[in-house]
Structure 1
Amino acid sequence: MEHLSKVTSALKNLRETRLSHLRPASEFFNHHQLSRPTDLNQATSRISYNTRYFAGNYSILIAILSIYALLTNLWLLLAIAFLFGGFTAINRFAPEPTQVGNYLVTQKGLYTGLFVIGIPLLWFAAPMSTLFWIVGASAFCILFHACLLDPGVESEYSTVQDPV
């Protein structure tokens, strides 16, 4: 029950910090504001503004690409499930040493067996290529969207500070 409250508070914290800055889909996918930047300075300006303005939407995009990458790399999904499931099972069902025949099976021995099988399985699944794919695909999508989406009129006033 304690774990459920931790997860609930973590999700609430995520919603309050990152997801509170979500912009509506109609604004994020507004094709009327798409235009090619005239020069590198304008492209840099658009990227700078749009990455801050749509930060919540871009976080959702990265999460979706990550889930897609995991679902398309079944070996990696299997390796992660095996390692986390094994770790959880050892902690839950084998906290104390157990006698099996003439052998004494300890938690340390079980962890060693888990990692002797799990690490080569993880290595075979190529997690680094998946990570680099996520980084590359996210960077491409975010920079492409941020560069082509012309900021609205409110962007002109984003640097103006209120007089005190």
Structure 2
Amino acid sequence: MDTLVRVTDTLKSFRQTRLSALRSPAEFFDHHRISRPEDLNQATHRISYNTRYFSGNYGLIVAVLAIYAVLTNPLLLLSLAFLIGGFAAINKFAPEPLQVGEHVVTQKSLYTGLFVIGIPLLWLSSPLGTFFWLVGASSVLILGHATIMEPGIESEYSAVQESV
């Protein structure tokens, strides 16, 4: 019951901090604000402002791409499920050593078996390739959007608020 309360509190705090920063799709995809930056200085200013302003939307983009990457790599999904499920099963069902015939099976030996099978399985599923794809795809989408979106009128007042 205590873990359920912690999970609910974590979800509430996540919703309050991250999801409150989400901007509406109409604002995020406002085609009237799309323009090519004149120079590198303007592009840098846009990226700096838009990454703060649309941080919730960009976080959602990264999360959706991560879910897509895991779901389209079945071996990675299987190996993650095996490792996470193995940890959960060992912690739940085998907290004490178990006598099997003449052998004593401890948590340490179960974790060793889990790692001996799980780590090579994880290695074969190429998690680094998936990670670097996620970083590259997220960077292209986020930096591309942040560069072409003109900051709103409120961006002019953000410098005034910071100096006060």
Equivalent in the alignment of 2:38: 38
Partners of 2:161 and 2:128 in 1: how far apart? 44
Unaligned runs of 5+ in 2: none
Quote how far apart the aligned CAs of 1:37 are.
0.9
Q: Matched residue of 1:104: which SS?
A: strand
Give deviations 1:73-94, integer Å, cap 9, x for gaps.
1111111110110111111111
Letter in 2 for 1:144: G
Partners of 2:69 and 2:80 in 1: how far apart? 13
Quote how far apart the aligned CAs of 1:63 are.
0.6
Equivalent in the alignment of 1:20: 20
Q: Matched residue of 1:51: which SS?
A: helix
Partners of 2:163 and 2:121 in 1: how far apart? 60
Q: Do the aligned partners of residues 26 and 100 (structure 1) sit closer, same or farther apart at CA in structure 2, a change above 3 Å counting?
A: same
Give deviations 1:9-45, integer Å, cap 9, x for gaps.
1111111112211111100011111111111111111
Equivalent in the alignment of 1:52: 52
Unaligned runs of 5+ in 1: none
Moved more, 46-55 or 91-100: 91-100
Give deviations 1:82-121, integer Å, cap 9, x for gaps.
0110111111111111122222211111111111000000
Equivalent in the alignment of 2:98: 98
Q: How many residues align?
A: 164
Partners of 2:101 and 2:30 in 1: how far apart? 68
Give TM-score, length-normalised by structure 1.
0.95
Q: Do the aligned partners of residues 162 and 112 (structure 1) sit closer, same or farther apart at CA in structure 2, a change above 3 Å counting?
A: closer
Equivalent in the alignment of 2:111: 111
Q: Do the aligned partners of residues 39 and 71 (structure 1) sit closer, same or farther apart at CA in structure 2, a change above 3 Å counting?
A: same
Report whether the alignment pairs 1:160 with 2:160: yes
Report whether the alignment pairs 1:5 with 2:5: yes
Partners of 1:142 and 1:151 in 2: how far apart? 15
Partners of 1:145 and 1:26 in 2: how far apart? 14
Percent identity over paired residues: 65
Q: Do the aligned partners of residues 163 and 35 (structure 1) sit closer, same or farther apart at CA in structure 2, a change above 3 Å counting?
A: closer
Q: Matched residue of 1:78: which SS?
A: helix
Give the CA RMSD over aligned residues: 1.5
Quote how far apart the aligned CAs of 1:163 are.
9.1
Give deviations 1:40-86, integer Å, cap 9, x for gaps.
11111111110111011111111111111111111111111101101
- 4+ residue segments displaced more than 3 Å: none
